[in-house]
Amino acid sequence: MNRVKIWYCGALLCGSFLAAPAVANLDGQQRAQAAGRALMGEPAPRLLLETIDGQAIDLGALYGKKAVYLKFWATWCVPCRQQMPHFQHVYATAGSDLAVIAIDVGFNDSVDAIRAYRKRLGITMPIVFDDGRLGAAFHVRVTPTHIVIGRDGRIRYVGHLADAQLDAALLAARSSASAGARTSSRDVRNPAANPDPPAIGVGDPLPKRSLRTIDGRRFDFERGKASQKLTALVFLSPWCESYLATTRPEVAANCRNMRAQFTALDNDAHVRWLGIASGLWANAEDLEDYRKQYQVTIPLTLDASGEVFRAFRVNDVPTVLIAGADGRILRRLEGNAAQDPTALRKAIGAATAAD
């Protein structure tokens, strides 16, 4: 599978649309702008990307020469599809002073699905498949998210809607001064200074860190052999069962089936559970609503930045990791494994025997 390839060559950095996955108070535009507020006016990341067709795109080389328009989207996202005619029109009429790039967020998606989507809709702009790092660098919390970078290499606009405000930002970005297209070595968001560590997988120990649940409690990954308990980490999305029921029904069914399985096993005295929710289209209120709606009893935490998902290279929900009492990961279940109603029970039994 082709993934975005990133080499850090400098410092880092719907109106009338159908309802999106969110269920809490903020709409898509508010969520996108709130997440992107800290980026406004800041130097954009100087990254080298690779499209799903093998084309290399050097963002850093574009700064100072032309404006850049990045759209983060997904094939299952309804407003993304509704905005595609606008996006394709911008690309087709961009001219020489604007680079237009589509970035699939890589969440419950695939390159094959993107290619089929591209053919069906007739879109022609370059497409990158993100492994989570681009979304993290640009604080992506909703789909679609529009990022407009001026010719000066600074982020000029972050939003969710394809509207007059976006069009005005695209026009202004083209005429912004090209001087000063530099980045700051003091930027704490510089991924070159803090690259993702190697993936944590089966056979590896859980990291030495703690997470805070939405109840304010502390969950330590590392408990030590004395606990004599397995650790089950359930990676989920609070809107998977509802929103994806129409756009990705098989994924929605997998999420529902896995929830039923971990709910049935929640009282197992030999296992401690933690549900880790993606921060895409979700905040703490959404996660609390999910807990109440489905009467979820395991502890829940929100991975707002996607850091935990990236650490374990989780790109699809549901995914479950099971670690032994010594903290070493023994089993990984994901995707269609949830279709077997006894999959989680079997995996816990096998992990217990192997521990």
Query: Per residue in 42-71, pLDDT tens?
Result: 999 998 899 999 999 999 999 999 999 999
Residue 195 identity (one-letter amino acid): P
**2 has pLDDT over 80:** no
Q: Is the pLDDT of residue 280 over 70?
A: yes
Q: Decide which of 3.30.360.10, 3.40.30.10, 3.40.640.10, 3.40.190.10 is the CATH code for 7-175.
A: 3.40.30.10
Range with the poorest average pLDDT among 20-29, 68-77, 150-159: 20-29
Q: What is the pLDDT of residues 206-249, one digit of tens each?
A: 999 999 999 999 999 987 555 689 999 999 999 999 999 999 99
Among the ranges given (87-91, 187-191, 314-318), the one the predictor scored with the smallest mean pLDDT: 187-191
The pLDDT assigned to 213 comes to 98
Q: What is the pLDDT of residue 88?
A: 97
Cis before residue 249, ω within 30 degrees of 0?
no
What b/e string do you get for 13-48 counting C-beta neighbours within 10 Å, with b at 16 or more?
bbeebeebbbbbebbbbebbbebbeebeebbbbbbb
DSSP string, 40-99: TTSBPP-EEEE-TTS-EEEHHHHTTTSEEEEEEE-TT-HHHHHHHHHHHHHHHT-GGGEE
Predicted confidence band at 355 (pLDDT cuts at 50, 70, 90)? confident
Tokens coding 283: 């905040």
The pLDDT, as a whole number, for residue 5 is 38
User: Is pLDDT at 22 greater than 50 in this prediction?
Assistant: no
Region(s) of the chain under CATH 3.40.30.10: 7-175, 210-354
Check whether 13 has a pLDDT greater than 60.
Answer: no
Q: Residue 252: is its pLDDT beyond 80?
A: yes
What band does 100 get if pLDDT is binned at 50, 70 and 90?
very high
Residue 107 has, within 13 A of its CA and on its CB side, a CA count of 31
| Arithmetic mean of pLDDT, 92-103 | 97
What superfamily would CATH give domain 210-354? Glutaredoxin (3.40.30.10)
Report if pTM > 0.75. Answer: yes
pLDDT-derived band at 34 (thresholds 50, 70, 90) equals very high
